[in-house]
Amino acid sequence: MDQSTQTLTGTLRQVRKARRLSQLDLSLRLGVSQRHVSFVESGRARPSRELLLAWLQELDAPLVVRNEVMLQAGYAPIYTAAPLDDPVLEQVNSALDHLLCAHDPMPALVIDEHWNLLRLNRGGQWLATTLMPGAADLPNHAPINLLDLLADSEGFAKPIVNLEEVGPPLLAHLRHEAAVQPALMPKVDAFEAMLYSRLGTENLHTTWSHPTAPVLTTRYATEYGELAFFSMFTTFGTPQDITLASLRVEHLFAADEATVAVLRAQVQRYI
Protein backbone atom coordinates (compact mmCIF):
# COMPACT_ATOMS: atom_id res chain seq x y z
CA MET A 1 0.00 0.00 0.00
CA ASP A 2 1.59 3.36 -1.01
CA GLN A 3 1.65 6.47 1.18
CA SER A 4 -1.13 8.26 -0.74
CA THR A 5 -3.48 5.31 -0.24
CA GLN A 6 -2.69 5.23 3.46
CA THR A 7 -3.47 8.95 3.71
CA LEU A 8 -6.71 8.58 1.77
CA THR A 9 -7.98 5.65 3.84
CA GLY A 10 -7.06 7.37 7.09
CA THR A 11 -8.88 10.55 6.09
CA LEU A 12 -12.02 8.67 5.04
CA ARG A 13 -12.15 6.75 8.31
CA GLN A 14 -11.53 9.88 10.34
CA VAL A 15 -14.32 11.87 8.68
CA ARG A 16 -16.81 8.99 9.03
CA LYS A 17 -16.02 8.48 12.71
CA ALA A 18 -16.28 12.22 13.35
CA ARG A 19 -19.87 11.99 12.09
CA ARG A 20 -20.50 8.98 14.35
CA LEU A 21 -21.54 6.74 11.47
CA SER A 22 -20.74 3.05 11.12
CA GLN A 23 -19.65 1.53 7.84
CA LEU A 24 -23.12 0.00 7.59
CA ASP A 25 -24.80 3.39 8.10
CA LEU A 26 -22.66 4.93 5.38
CA SER A 27 -23.19 2.05 2.97
CA LEU A 28 -26.97 2.37 3.31
CA ARG A 29 -26.78 6.09 2.59
CA LEU A 30 -24.58 5.53 -0.44
CA GLY A 31 -26.49 2.55 -1.81
CA VAL A 32 -23.42 0.31 -1.86
CA SER A 33 -22.48 -2.74 0.18
CA GLN A 34 -20.83 -2.48 3.57
CA ARG A 35 -18.14 -4.73 2.13
CA HIS A 36 -17.31 -2.13 -0.52
CA VAL A 37 -17.13 0.66 2.08
CA SER A 38 -14.78 -1.54 4.11
CA PHE A 39 -12.62 -2.26 1.07
CA VAL A 40 -12.32 1.44 0.20
CA GLU A 41 -11.43 2.40 3.79
CA SER A 42 -8.81 -0.35 3.95
CA GLY A 43 -7.29 0.52 0.57
CA ARG A 44 -8.32 -2.77 -1.04
CA ALA A 45 -10.61 -0.98 -3.53
CA ARG A 46 -10.09 2.31 -5.37
CA PRO A 47 -13.21 4.49 -5.27
CA SER A 48 -14.43 6.27 -8.40
CA ARG A 49 -14.59 10.04 -8.45
CA GLU A 50 -18.39 9.90 -8.42
CA LEU A 51 -18.44 7.63 -5.37
CA LEU A 52 -16.05 9.88 -3.49
CA LEU A 53 -18.18 12.92 -4.27
CA ALA A 54 -21.28 11.19 -2.91
CA TRP A 55 -19.30 9.78 0.04
CA LEU A 56 -18.06 13.20 1.14
CA GLN A 57 -21.46 14.77 0.59
CA GLU A 58 -23.14 12.21 2.84
CA LEU A 59 -20.58 12.86 5.55
CA ASP A 60 -21.00 16.63 5.14
CA ALA A 61 -17.21 16.90 5.05
CA PRO A 62 -15.71 20.42 5.09
CA LEU A 63 -14.88 21.65 1.59
CA VAL A 64 -11.16 21.75 2.35
CA VAL A 65 -11.30 18.10 3.40
CA ARG A 66 -13.18 17.22 0.21
CA ASN A 67 -10.40 18.76 -1.86
CA GLU A 68 -7.76 16.92 0.16
CA VAL A 69 -9.52 13.60 -0.34
CA MET A 70 -9.84 14.13 -4.07
CA LEU A 71 -6.13 14.92 -4.34
CA GLN A 72 -5.22 11.94 -2.18
CA ALA A 73 -7.26 9.73 -4.51
CA GLY A 74 -5.51 11.17 -7.59
CA TYR A 75 -8.39 13.34 -8.81
CA ALA A 76 -8.59 17.07 -9.46
CA PRO A 77 -9.83 19.20 -6.54
CA ILE A 78 -13.45 20.35 -6.65
CA TYR A 79 -13.54 23.71 -4.91
CA THR A 80 -11.70 27.00 -5.30
CA ALA A 81 -10.05 28.82 -2.39
CA ALA A 82 -9.99 32.48 -3.38
CA PRO A 83 -8.21 34.88 -0.99
CA LEU A 84 -10.67 37.03 0.91
CA ASP A 85 -9.33 40.16 -0.80
CA ASP A 86 -9.81 38.65 -4.28
CA PRO A 87 -12.03 40.87 -6.48
CA VAL A 88 -14.29 37.88 -7.12
CA LEU A 89 -15.34 38.10 -3.44
CA GLU A 90 -16.14 41.81 -3.53
CA GLN A 91 -19.82 41.28 -2.79
CA VAL A 92 -18.97 38.88 0.02
CA ASN A 93 -16.70 41.47 1.62
CA SER A 94 -19.46 44.06 1.34
CA ALA A 95 -21.82 41.69 3.12
CA LEU A 96 -19.29 41.08 5.90
CA ASP A 97 -18.67 44.81 6.36
CA HIS A 98 -22.43 45.40 6.50
CA LEU A 99 -22.89 42.80 9.22
CA LEU A 100 -20.05 44.20 11.30
CA CYS A 101 -21.11 47.83 11.00
CA ALA A 102 -24.79 47.11 11.58
CA HIS A 103 -23.98 45.35 14.84
CA ASP A 104 -22.10 48.26 16.43
CA PRO A 105 -21.90 49.13 19.27
CA MET A 106 -22.28 45.45 20.13
CA PRO A 107 -19.09 43.47 19.39
CA ALA A 108 -18.85 41.40 16.21
CA LEU A 109 -15.90 39.58 14.64
CA VAL A 110 -15.06 37.48 11.60
CA ILE A 111 -13.09 34.28 12.19
CA ASP A 112 -12.07 31.34 10.04
CA GLU A 113 -12.20 27.60 10.73
CA HIS A 114 -8.90 27.74 12.63
CA TRP A 115 -10.19 30.56 14.85
CA ASN A 116 -7.94 33.15 13.23
CA LEU A 117 -9.34 36.63 13.77
CA LEU A 118 -9.84 38.31 10.40
CA ARG A 119 -11.95 41.37 11.12
CA LEU A 120 -13.54 43.30 14.00
CA ASN A 121 -16.09 46.06 14.31
CA ARG A 122 -15.63 48.98 16.70
CA GLY A 123 -17.47 47.22 19.50
CA GLY A 124 -15.23 44.20 19.06
CA GLN A 125 -12.07 46.33 19.13
CA TRP A 126 -13.22 48.04 22.31
CA LEU A 127 -14.09 44.77 24.04
CA ALA A 128 -10.82 43.12 23.02
CA THR A 129 -8.69 45.89 24.48
CA THR A 130 -10.92 46.07 27.57
CA LEU A 131 -10.57 42.35 28.31
CA MET A 132 -6.92 42.15 27.32
CA PRO A 133 -5.23 45.58 27.40
CA GLY A 134 -2.09 44.14 25.79
CA ALA A 135 -4.08 43.56 22.59
CA ALA A 136 -3.78 47.28 21.84
CA ASP A 137 -0.01 46.88 21.49
CA LEU A 138 -0.18 44.15 18.85
CA PRO A 139 1.27 45.23 15.47
CA ASN A 140 -1.22 46.09 12.76
CA HIS A 141 -2.15 43.06 10.66
CA ALA A 142 -0.37 40.73 13.11
CA PRO A 143 -1.99 37.28 12.94
CA ILE A 144 -4.24 36.72 15.94
CA ASN A 145 -5.69 33.34 16.88
CA LEU A 146 -8.55 33.40 19.37
CA LEU A 147 -7.85 29.90 20.65
CA ASP A 148 -4.29 30.93 21.47
CA LEU A 149 -5.61 33.94 23.35
CA LEU A 150 -8.17 31.83 25.20
CA ALA A 151 -5.50 29.33 26.25
CA ASP A 152 -3.10 32.07 27.39
CA SER A 153 -3.16 32.52 31.18
CA GLU A 154 -3.24 36.28 30.60
CA GLY A 155 -5.66 36.09 27.67
CA PHE A 156 -9.37 36.45 27.09
CA ALA A 157 -10.36 33.75 29.58
CA LYS A 158 -8.64 35.47 32.52
CA PRO A 159 -11.48 37.96 33.25
CA ILE A 160 -14.28 35.36 32.82
CA VAL A 161 -15.99 35.07 36.21
CA ASN A 162 -18.18 32.06 35.32
CA LEU A 163 -15.51 29.97 33.62
CA GLU A 164 -16.75 26.81 35.38
CA GLU A 165 -20.07 27.31 33.59
CA VAL A 166 -18.90 28.25 30.09
CA GLY A 167 -15.51 26.49 29.91
CA PRO A 168 -16.63 22.82 29.74
CA PRO A 169 -19.27 23.39 27.01
CA LEU A 170 -16.77 25.37 24.94
CA LEU A 171 -14.19 22.61 25.35
CA ALA A 172 -16.71 20.01 24.18
CA HIS A 173 -17.53 22.16 21.15
CA LEU A 174 -13.86 22.59 20.30
CA ARG A 175 -13.22 18.86 20.55
CA HIS A 176 -16.08 18.31 18.09
CA GLU A 177 -14.50 20.78 15.66
CA ALA A 178 -11.08 19.19 16.07
CA ALA A 179 -12.50 15.78 15.21
CA VAL A 180 -13.05 17.11 11.68
CA GLN A 181 -10.15 19.59 11.67
CA PRO A 182 -7.26 17.76 13.42
CA ALA A 183 -4.98 20.80 13.02
CA LEU A 184 -6.97 22.41 15.84
CA MET A 185 -6.09 19.71 18.37
CA PRO A 186 -2.89 21.30 19.79
CA LYS A 187 -4.78 24.52 20.45
CA VAL A 188 -7.71 22.62 22.00
CA ASP A 189 -5.26 20.71 24.22
CA ALA A 190 -3.73 24.02 25.34
CA PHE A 191 -7.19 25.41 26.16
CA GLU A 192 -8.00 22.26 28.13
CA ALA A 193 -4.75 22.60 30.09
CA MET A 194 -5.68 26.18 30.97
CA LEU A 195 -9.10 25.01 32.19
CA TYR A 196 -7.45 22.36 34.35
CA SER A 197 -5.20 24.98 35.91
CA ARG A 198 -8.14 27.31 36.60
CA LEU A 199 -10.88 24.86 37.54
CA GLY A 200 -9.17 21.64 38.57
CA THR A 201 -10.11 18.16 37.40
CA GLU A 202 -13.17 17.86 39.63
CA ASN A 203 -14.82 21.09 38.49
CA LEU A 204 -13.93 20.55 34.84
CA HIS A 205 -15.69 17.19 34.74
CA THR A 206 -18.51 17.91 37.17
CA THR A 207 -21.96 17.23 35.75
CA TRP A 208 -23.39 20.51 34.55
CA SER A 209 -26.14 22.04 36.65
CA HIS A 210 -29.49 23.05 35.25
CA PRO A 211 -29.18 26.11 32.97
CA THR A 212 -30.07 29.40 34.62
CA ALA A 213 -30.70 31.21 31.32
CA PRO A 214 -32.07 30.24 27.88
CA VAL A 215 -28.65 30.85 26.27
CA LEU A 216 -25.16 30.32 27.62
CA THR A 217 -23.91 33.66 28.92
CA THR A 218 -20.28 34.63 29.48
CA ARG A 219 -19.59 37.14 32.24
CA TYR A 220 -16.44 39.24 32.40
CA ALA A 221 -14.99 41.29 35.25
CA THR A 222 -13.86 44.66 33.84
CA GLU A 223 -13.04 48.16 35.01
CA TYR A 224 -16.58 49.10 33.93
CA GLY A 225 -18.18 46.45 36.12
CA GLU A 226 -19.36 43.01 35.11
CA LEU A 227 -20.20 42.68 31.41
CA ALA A 228 -22.36 39.79 30.16
CA PHE A 229 -22.73 38.52 26.58
CA PHE A 230 -24.29 35.69 24.62
CA SER A 231 -23.40 34.85 21.02
CA MET A 232 -24.98 34.13 17.67
CA PHE A 233 -23.13 33.01 14.54
CA THR A 234 -23.69 33.87 10.88
CA THR A 235 -22.33 31.64 8.11
CA PHE A 236 -22.72 31.62 4.35
CA GLY A 237 -25.45 29.35 3.06
CA THR A 238 -24.24 26.55 0.74
CA PRO A 239 -20.78 28.08 0.12
CA GLN A 240 -18.94 26.80 -2.95
CA ASP A 241 -15.52 28.20 -2.07
CA ILE A 242 -13.24 26.96 0.71
CA THR A 243 -12.52 30.46 2.00
CA LEU A 244 -16.21 31.25 2.34
CA ALA A 245 -16.99 27.89 3.90
CA SER A 246 -14.43 28.58 6.64
CA LEU A 247 -15.81 31.99 7.60
CA ARG A 248 -18.25 32.78 10.39
CA VAL A 249 -19.31 36.01 11.98
CA GLU A 250 -19.75 35.94 15.74
CA HIS A 251 -22.25 38.50 17.01
CA LEU A 252 -22.08 39.24 20.72
CA PHE A 253 -25.25 40.55 22.35
CA ALA A 254 -25.53 42.18 25.75
CA ALA A 255 -27.22 39.84 28.23
CA ASP A 256 -28.35 42.60 30.60
CA GLU A 257 -29.13 46.31 30.61
CA ALA A 258 -25.95 47.21 32.49
CA THR A 259 -23.85 45.81 29.64
CA VAL A 260 -25.98 47.66 27.09
CA ALA A 261 -25.40 50.93 28.93
CA VAL A 262 -21.62 50.46 29.06
CA LEU A 263 -21.38 49.58 25.35
CA ARG A 264 -23.48 52.57 24.35
CA ALA A 265 -21.44 54.94 26.50
CA GLN A 266 -18.01 53.62 25.49
CA VAL A 267 -18.49 52.65 21.84
CA GLN A 268 -21.47 54.56 20.45
CA ARG A 269 -19.65 57.89 20.48
CA TYR A 270 -17.05 56.56 18.02
CA ILE A 271 -19.58 55.31 15.44
Q: What is the CATH number of the domain that holds 11?
A: 1.10.260.40
Instruction: Return d(Cα 101, Cα 97) in angstroms, integer.
Output: 6
Residue 234 has pLDDT above 50, yes or no: yes
d(CA 110, CA 244): 11
What pLDDT does residue 106 have?
97
Indicate if 43 and 175 belong to the same structural domain. no
Q: Which of 13, 37, 72 is the last residue of a domain?
A: 72
| pLDDT one-digit tens code per residue, 93-105 | 999 999 999 999 9
Strands 117-120 and 248-254 come out as unpaired
Are both 42 and 95 inside the same structural domain? Answer: no
Q: In the chain, pLDDT over 90 holds for what percent of residues?
A: 78
Question: What's the confidence (pLDDT) of residue 82?
Answer: 93
- Total structural domains in the chain? 2
Shared domain for 30 and 62, answered yes or no, is: yes
3-state secondary structure of 132: coil
Among 147, 142, 111, 129, which Cα is nearest to 235's? 111
Whether the pLDDT of residue 6 is over 60: the answer is: no
Give this prediction's pTM. 0.82
Does 51 share its domain with 148?
Answer: no
Per 3-state DSSP, what percentage of the chain is helix, strand, and coil (rounded to 5)?
A: 55, 15, 30
Q: Which tens digits make up the pLDDT trace of 206-219?
A: 645 555 667 899 99
Task: Give yes or no: residues 135 and 24 share one domain.
Answer: no
Q: What confidence category does residue 1 fall into, taking pLDDT thresholds of 50, 70 and 90?
A: very low
Q: Is 77 within a domain?
A: no
Q: Is residue 150 part of a domain?
A: yes
Render pLDDT for 147-173 as a digit per residue (tens, 0 to 9). 999 999 889 999 999 999 999 999 999
